[in-house]
Amino acid sequence: MSATLTVEPTAVTPTPTAPGSARRHTLRHAFVLAKRSLIKTWRTPEQLIDVTVQPIIFLLLFVYVFGGAFASGSRHEYLEYLLPGLLGQGIAMGSVALGQNLNADIEKGVFDRFRSLPIARSAPLVGAVFADFFRYLILCVMFVGFGYVIGFRIGTNPVAMLAAIAISIAFALCFCWISVFIGMKARSSGAVQGIMFLLVLPLSFGSSTFVPVGTMPGWLQAFAKVNPISQLVGVVRGLMVDGPVASHLLWTGVWMAGLLVVFVPLAMRAYRRRV
C-alpha cells in the first residue's frame, strides 16, 4: 500500500444552512439512498416477484377458479370487476417487503454508517420509500398489461387509466409508511411479514376488491366501506371501468393524508429510538 493519500483534516467551520436548503440536501441524500435500494433490487430481481408474478397468479386464480361462480357466471365481467380491486390488494401486499428489507438492513452495520454521517435522520427511510416507487410502477404496468392480454378492456379513456395508475402509486407511497413503521418496531424481518399480513389480509379481503360490499353482512359492510383499500379500488374502478369517482377520490385523499400524518412521525420516532 502506498502512502500517497493525504488526509488533510476537514475544515469544521459550521456551515449554516437555511431550512429550505437543508430540505433540498435531505431530498438529494434520499435520492442517493434510493439509488442504493434500486441497485440491490437490480442485483436480486427475485425481490420483484411480489409485485409481478404474485398478483398475476392471484388474478388467474380468481378469474378462472372463482370467476364462473361469481358475477352471474361471466368470467369477462368478473375480470372487469376484479382487476381494479386486485391492483389495490397488490399495492397493500407490495408494501410488506419495504418494512422487511429495512428491518433486515438496520441490523447490519451499514445503517450505523448512515447514522454517523451528517445527513438528516429521515434520509435513509425516505430514500427507501422513493425506491419503492419503481416497484409500484412495475406492479401497475405489468398487472394492467397482463390483464389486457387475458381480455380486460378499459371502459373509459387512456388518460383516465393513467390517472388511476398515478393515484394508485401515490396511495402506495403513503400506505407503505405503515410497513416502514412496523419494520422499525418488529424484532425480525419475519415478524414484519407476519404483522403486515395480519393487517393487509383483512383490509384487502374485507373490501370491495373481490365482491360488491352489498353482499356482506351489515357489520362487515361498515368496515368495508371505510376501508382505505375499498376507497382506492373505488377510484380505480371508476377511472378504468365505470362508476362514481368523486366521493372515493375524496376519501382516498383523506386516507393518504391521514396515513402520512400518523405513520411518518411514528416511523421516524421508532427509527431514532432503535439502537
Task: To the nearest 10°, report the CA torsion of 193, 195, 200, 201.
Answer: 100
Q: Which of 16, 18, 20, 44 is in the footprint of other proteins by CB under 8 A? A: 44
Q: Which of 53, 73, 74, 112 is in the footprint of other proteins by CB under 8 A? A: 112
Q: Which of 21, 23, 35, 74 is in the footprint of other proteins by CB under 8 A? A: 35
Those residues whose C-beta lies under 8 Å from the C-beta of residue 214, and which sit 6 or more positions away, are 221
User: Please, what is the minimum distance in Å from the beta carbon of residue 48 to other proteins?
Assistant: 15
Q: Which of 21, 23, 39, 257 is in the footprint of other proteins by CB under 8 A? A: 39
User: Please, what is the minimum distance in Å from the beta carbon of residue 105 to other proteins?
Assistant: 9
Regarding 14 and contact with other proteins (CB under 8 A), the answer is yes
Contact window for other proteins (CB under 8 A) among 116-124, 221-229, 240-248, 257-265: 116-124
Could you give the CA distance from residue 203 to residue 90 in angstroms, rounded to a whole number?
Answer: 12
Phi-psi region of 103 (alpha: psi -120 to 50; beta: other; left: phi over 0): alpha
- Nearer residue to other proteins within complex by CB, 2 or 72: 2
Q: How many helices (H) and strands (E) does the chain have?
A: 11, 0
Classify burial at 175, counting beta carbons within 10 Å of its beta carbon; exposed 0-12, middle 13-18, buried 19 or more: buried
- Nearer residue to other proteins within complex by CB, 38 or 170: 38
Regarding 275 and contact with other proteins (CB under 8 A), the answer is yes
Output the CA angle 175-26-96, nearest 5 degrees.
25
Could you give the CA distance from residue 89 to residue 200 in angstroms, rounded to a whole number?
Answer: 8
Could you give the CA distance from residue 236 to residue 230 in angstroms, rounded to a whole number?
Answer: 10
Instruction: Pick out residues in 119-148 that bind other proteins (CB under 8 A).
Output: 119, 123
Contact window for other proteins (CB under 8 A) among 9-17, 51-59, 64-72, 243-251: 9-17
- Nearer residue to other proteins within complex by CB, 27 or 220: 27
Q: Footprint of other proteins on this chain (CB under 8 A)?
A: 1-12, 14, 25, 28-29, 32-33, 35-36, 39-40, 43-44, 108-119, 123, 275
